[in-house]
Amino acid sequence: MTVEFEDGYAAERLFNQGFSYTYDDIIFLPHYIDFPTDAVSLSTNLSRNIPLSIPCVSSPMDTVTESYMAAAMAALGGIGIIHSNMPPSHQAHMVRSVKSRRVPILSNPVFKSPDSRIVDHFDDDSLPCVLVTESGTAKSKLLGYVFKSDWMSLSDKDAKLVDYMRAADSTISVPWSYDLAQIDAYLKKEERDFVLLEEGGEVLDVITKQEVERVKGYPKIGKGSVGSDGKWMVGAAIGTRESDKERVEHLVKAGANAVVLDSSQGNSIYQIEMINYIKRTYPQLDVIGGNVVTMNQAQNLIKAGADGLRVGMGSGSICTTQEVCAVGRGQATAVYKVSSIAAQSGVPVVADGGISNSGHIVKALTLGASTVMMGGFLAGSTEAPGTYLYKDGYRIKKYRGMGSLEAMTKGSDQRYLGDTAKLKIAQGVVGAVVDKGSILRLLPYTMQAVKQGFQDLGATSLQSAHDLLRSKTLRLEVRTGAAQVEGGIHGLDSYEKKAF
């Protein structure tokens, strides 16, 4: 005689009770393990036509994703979405910067003409040298370089560069296609402290021996996210205004693999018209619509032709949309509901917001998302824009919501449909986060924790997790406040928390 057990809830039952659940509100019950952790595959799709090795996307926020972050994300097998709080030409330049590299190291080379002077460029500690070209731009013949030590030893700081620069020779540069191992070997062979990456006579970057040694110390980086053009994949955010059609043109010419329509509430005539325009004008370009949190919102954007959906409204740590506007949804419920309808059309879902730890990533992916978009999780890292400051003995970096008044002054009020409003209402705040180190170390360890979570669920892949959930094999429960306390660190006088 077989005895049937009723243990936990199926997702369909749990999420149809009229409650708005966050990730911390729910917990999955463990399933059966018959495979090792290394058997878990986290490969996935950002959108219909963009495959990724890991389900990680950096958010298009001006304190999270610019070219440095996007390059590192691509190197790890994820993808970065460059924010649009800048002129279209500047954003397109960042896209080109990412796609013109093969190592997750970016610097900002300073170019000068022979007759110019340095002034104060060496105030930037990351600069190993200033490069001297015929015209003072990257697209010009390289003549020489000036080390910081050379400039500091000068008695006449106003001297022309041509008078004391070191002449460039054939050993100073290598092709842009060199990977980290090749650059490392070349630096050792030539006994150099730095080398230039060059393509078609144009200097793209300055790679120092110190930076190579730093990156070598992180977990091994694989092939990364490489497109059909053989270059790293990168996405970019756009708005829904008429002027954004020009922005899209810039981004397509720069080689962007996808555009993300950046709106806090994506179910609008403006977004639907923009999706229609892009799919008609650039059919090869993947478009990710959003943000959405309901099935009806999702269905409208899918019908318009969206290749992916961004899910989340007011769930970010610096977002106040739910508080200010009284709209939104708990992120766990939103991801499950939208994924349920999107799966029927084969449209991948990006779970955007609310990610504070690896457990949240496991929950988002298992509930139906194909990727997670991270802002605060990556903010404060080495690759995030901004400079470090010190507060109470900690290194910190600024992190602000795109709905904050500070960000809106740069143009982000478009995403809240408020750029034409006379009165600006904030839907985000400005804060700071503690230094997290490099994402080249943070994300590999985080992905290993996610794999262990999938193993406990008995899922060898994202698709396997989705199938187990929809077949009602995976069960869930709601956690009480006491259960959430019990499931975290408690009962200690003091402790030191290290994730890895």
- Rounded Cα distance between 97 and 416, Å, is 29
pLDDT at 428: 59
Mind listing the pLDDT tens digit for each residue in 375-387? 989 998 999 988 7
Full domain range(s) for residue 22: 11-103+229-487
Cβ proximity of 358 and 453 under 8 Å: yes
Phi-psi map region of 136: left, alpha, beta (phi>0 left; psi -120 to 50 alpha): left
- Rounded Cα distance between 348 and 366, Å, is 13
Which residues line the annotated binding site for K(+)?
314, 316, 319
Q: Tell me, yes or no, whether 176 and 211 share the same domain.
A: yes
> Is residue 496 a part of any domain in this protein?
no
Domain boundary residue, one of 217, 237, 253 = 217
Q: Tell me, yes or no, whether 368 and 416 share the same domain.
A: yes
If one counts the domains in the chain, the total is 2
pLDDT at 288: 98
**Residue 1 pLDDT greater than 60, yes or no:** no
> Is residue 68 a part of any domain in this protein?
yes
Which residues line the annotated binding site?
262-264, 312-314, 316-317, 319, 352-354, 375-376, 399-403, 427
Q: Tell me, yes or no, whether 298 and 425 share the same domain.
A: yes
Q: Tell me, yes or no, whether 147 and 77 share the same domain.
A: no
pLDDT at 483: 87
Give the mean pLDDT of the chain.
87
Of the candidate ranges 13-17, 245-249, 352-356, 391-395, the one whose mean pLDDT is the lowest: 391-395
**Residue 210 pLDDT greater than 60, yes or no:** yes
- Burial of residue 74 (CB within 10 Å: 0-12, 13-18, 19+) is buried
CATH number at residue 39: 3.20.20.70
> Is residue 500 a part of any domain in this protein?
no
- Enter the pTM of the model: 0.87
Which residues line the annotated binding site for NAD(+)?
262-264, 312-314
- Burial of residue 62 (CB within 10 Å: 0-12, 13-18, 19+) is buried
**Residue 128 pLDDT greater than 70, yes or no:** yes
pLDDT at 302: 97
Task: Give percent of the chain above pLDDT 90.
Answer: 54
Active site residues: 319, 415
pLDDT at 4: 67
Q: Tell me, yes or no, whether 246 and 157 share the same domain.
A: no
**Residue 425 pLDDT greater than 60, yes or no:** no
The closest of 361, 455, 334 to 464, measured between CA atoms, is: 455
Mind listing the pLDDT tens digit for each residue in 450-465? 999 999 999 999 999 9
